[in-house]
Structure 1
Amino acid sequence: MRAPLHPRQSERLAHLRKLGILDTRTEQQFDEVVDLAARICEVPICLISLVDENRQWFKARVGLDVAQTDLDRSICSHVILQGDLVEISDTTQDLRTADNPLVTGADHIRFYAGVPLISDDGLPVGTLCVLDTRPRSLTELQRSTLRVLGAQLMRQFELRLALHQAEVLRGEIDHRVKNSLQTVLSVVRMYKSRVDNAVATEALAAVERRIDAVAMLHQELYQTSQSNRVALQPYLERVASLLEASAPSNVRLDITVCRAQILPSVAANIGMIISEFTANAIKHAFPDGRRGTVTVTVEQSDETAGLLVHCRDDGIGSANPAEESEVTRLGQRLMQAAAIQIGAEFSLMAQSDGYHLNMQVPLKDAPSAELAAE
């Protein structure tokens, strides 16, 4: 006989579809469950059966060739009406199964036991079931095994749903953050285009670079699997690409960064310091079309398990002290403030062969393994 509809059928079907499991590809972790259950229960057939509106579909199966059947052949649709394991020792003697085509036909099913897969809201979506071609009974250990495996399966389904929902939410947040940053950046650029004061223009340019760096940091965080760490190398290379694009043809940027996973706040301040140094060098170190290079290296410190940051340009340096203006001092103060925020030892010197910046960044809360090459 065909099972009656579940009393919460519409909710049950909605949750089943929400799980996103139906008609997905085979997966090893589920195949292993049915194989294990079949072995422990000593039966030839085991199924993870999801009871849809007009069919039952098998997420994983062993001992059965078909991927789904209609509900007229479904014993599992009876089981989802119960709150616990259902065991039918002889299917020919039970009203629910005696006329089932699986029992009366060539499949010759004579034994069935299944545990419903029930959500936290009490909505059954299917079963983990075992079948045999001869009447029999399960041992208490076998029944307990089915219950435990069934509960674990449902947790797997719910976890997949939670991860999917988190990814959707993350994507929405990413979209909104990008839009907000673009709006702020547009306002800054508008004001910068209208300001006639050199210090104000430089300050707005620094704000613009900071927003660009934050946008890239956000993008790197969104792409990484470690949401509390950012990959320093690709992040700083993205920052460098923006700076290089703004540089005149006579200035080249050479950047080398070790592979490290660090806190976003630390990465942001390192990015800001490198950005300010490079921007100042591009603007002031190479007057009158003088050719030169801004070199940036970030490497691991073996002694402190921190990072060593070196920036230098081969420009005019101390050869033109008059260039030490309020605009230049603004950039230096920004770099010093960023270094203080991350507890870094910082020095910036003008020498005859250009400006040199050295910084030692502690990473006390990051294990040294996170600095190893990927």
Structure 2
Amino acid sequence: MLADRHPFQDERLDILHSYDVLDTPYEEDFDDIVGLVASICEVPIALISLVDGHRQWFKAVKGLDVGETPLESSICAHAILEKELVEIRDTHADPRMDGNPLCVDDPGLRFYAGAVLMGVEGLPLGTLCVLDYTPRTLTDTQRQTLRVLAGQVMARLELRRTLKRQAVLHSEADHRIKNSLQMLSSLTRFQSRISELDETREALDAVGQRIETMGRLHEVLQAGHVQTHVDLDDYLIRIVDFLSEQAPEHVVIDTALSRISMTPSRAASIGIVLNEWVTNAYKHAFPDGRAGVIKVTVTDLGAGTAQLEVGDNGRGTTADATCRRSGLGTQITEAVAQALDGTLTADANAFGTRHRLLFAI
């Protein structure tokens, strides 16, 4: 006897499909559950059965060699019309099983008990069920075990769906952040081009570079799907790549970066300092087309401390170093160092200038 259509069949199927579990491979966690429930209930067959629109499909199977059956022979399709737990002690005595090929074949299934797998929306997806070839009755402990393990099945399915939704939201957020950063960068470049004042253009260019610095951090977070820590060297290399594109002719950047893991916010702060120091060197260290090298070094000093150093071999008189200690860029680096509980130092001579930030990892 074919089971009646569930009164909320369309909604039920939409919810079932939202879990993206149908036709997925067997998994150890679910296999362990059917193995355990079969042992406790002392039956040869246990299934995690999901009732689709035209079939019942098994996420885990113990004691059968099939992965699905048509609805015409599905006992679970009847069970999901009931509440919580259905126990059929003898299928031959139940009119719903009349003519069911699974029950009349030799050997036929004579016992069935299924705990309904109920979604959080209150609609059934299928059952965790046990079957036997002889009539029988479950004990209270076996019934309770079936209910509890059905809850474990749903907990795992719900976790799967939640993680999928979080991944979709994360992807959408990443996309919007990337677009927003690109739009801000484009707007600052446009305003810089049309501005008539040199000071305004310079300020807008600096803002644009800081936006780009944050964009590089976002790329690192996207690439590694990391939320708590990033590799500082990976992040700084991306910033150096960007800064190299802005370098004056005949000026190159060399790097020597220790591998250090830290939170994204602290890495972003160090990236801002790097951006300020390198762009400052572009402006002041290599006048009149002078060639040179900017060396970016990050050193793990041990004991939970590290140092960022940006040095150049440009003109580096003491007067020049003092000159560079004014303006918005200097205020930014000092504020960042304070936020990191770090220490800033600098020195300059005829062979160039070096800036250092000592910070905690």
TM superposition score normalised by structure 1:
0.89
In structure 2, do the counterparts of structure 1 residues 125 and 322 end up closer, same or farther at CA, with 3 Å as the change threshold? closer
**Structure 2 counterpart of 1:36, one-letter code:** L
In structure 2, do the counterparts of structure 1 residues 330 and 352 end up closer, same or farther at CA, with 3 Å as the change threshold? farther
Shift of 1:137: 2.6
1:349 pairs with 2:309:
no
2:174 aligns to what?
174
Shift of 1:306: 3.4
CA distance in 2: counterparts of 1:107 and 1:312, whole angstroms: 84
CA contact (8 A) 1:343 1:361 kept: yes
2:305 aligns to what?
306
Report 1:47-86 matches (<5 A).
47-86=47-86
Report 1:115-154 matches (<5 A).
115-154=115-154
CA contact (8 A) 1:127 1:150 kept: yes
1:370 aligns to what?
none
Shift of 1:147: 1.2
SS in 2 for 1:184: helix
Report the more deviating stretch, 188-197 or 66-75: 188-197
CA distance in 1: counterparts of 2:139 and 2:259, whole angstroms: 55
SS in 2 for 1:317: coil
Shift of 1:96: 2.1
**Structure 2 counterpart of 1:334, one-letter code:** I
In structure 2, do the counterparts of structure 1 residues 257 and 98 end up closer, same or farther at CA, with 3 Å as the change threshold? farther
SS in 2 for 1:48: strand
CA distance in 1: counterparts of 2:177 and 2:272, whole angstroms: 19
**Structure 2 counterpart of 1:155, one-letter code:** A
Equivalenced residues, count: 361
Shift of 1:310: 1.8
Shift of 1:195: 3.3
CA distance in 2: counterparts of 1:323 and 1:144, whole angstroms: 77
CA contact (8 A) 1:224 1:231 kept: no
2:332 aligns to what?
334
**Structure 2 counterpart of 1:314, one-letter code:** N
**Structure 1 counterpart of 2:131, one-letter code:** L
In structure 2, do the counterparts of structure 1 residues 322 and 10 end up closer, same or farther at CA, with 3 Å as the change threshold? closer
**Structure 2 counterpart of 1:148, one-letter code:** V
Deviations 1:215-260 (A, max 9, x none): 1222322344442433322211111110112224522212233333
1:368 aligns to what?
none
**Structure 1 counterpart of 2:317, one-letter code:** S
1:367 aligns to what?
none
Report 1:1-374 matches (<5 A).
1-106=1-106, 108-303=108-303, 305-318=304-317, 321=319, 329-363=327-361
CA distance in 2: counterparts of 1:349 and 1:193, whole angstroms: 35
Shift of 1:129: 0.9
CA contact (8 A) 1:46 1:129 kept: yes
CA contact (8 A) 1:251 1:294 kept: yes
Report the more deviating stretch, 247-256 or 213-222: 247-256
Report the more deviating stretch, 21-30 or 118-127: 21-30
In structure 2, do the counterparts of structure 1 residues 322 and 360 end up closer, same or farther at CA, with 3 Å as the change threshold? closer
CA contact (8 A) 1:117 1:125 kept: yes
Report the more deviating stretch, 225-234 or 53-62: 225-234
In structure 2, do the counterparts of structure 1 residues 134 and 96 end up closer, same or farther at CA, with 3 Å as the change threshold? same
**Structure 1 counterpart of 2:14, one-letter code:** A
CA distance in 2: counterparts of 1:324 and 1:342, whole angstroms: 23
CA contact (8 A) 2:230 2:263 kept: yes
Stretches of 4+ aligned residues off by more than 6 angstroms: none
CA distance in 2: counterparts of 1:93 and 1:156, whole angstroms: 35
**Structure 2 counterpart of 1:135, one-letter code:** P
CA distance in 1: counterparts of 2:107 and 2:258, whole angstroms: 63
Shift of 1:106: 4.3
CA contact (8 A) 1:344 1:359 kept: yes
Shift of 1:135: 2.2
In structure 2, do the counterparts of structure 1 residues 343 and 198 end up closer, same or farther at CA, with 3 Å as the change threshold? farther
CA distance in 1: counterparts of 2:64 and 2:73, whole angstroms: 13
Report the more deviating stretch, 48-57 or 228-237: 228-237
**Structure 1 counterpart of 2:239, one-letter code:** V
Report the more deviating stretch, 58-67 or 104-113: 104-113
CA distance in 1: counterparts of 2:334 and 2:124, whole angstroms: 60
Deviations 1:128-161 (A, max 9, x none): 1111222223333322222111101111111211
RMSD over equivalenced CA pairs, Å: 2.3
Identity of aligned residues (%): 43
**Structure 1 counterpart of 2:356, one-letter code:** N
CA distance in 1: counterparts of 2:73 and 2:62, whole angstroms: 17
Shift of 1:70: 1.0
**Structure 1 counterpart of 2:89, one-letter code:** S
CA distance in 2: counterparts of 1:200 and 1:323, whole angstroms: 24
Shift of 1:329: 4.1
**Structure 2 counterpart of 1:19, one-letter code:** Y
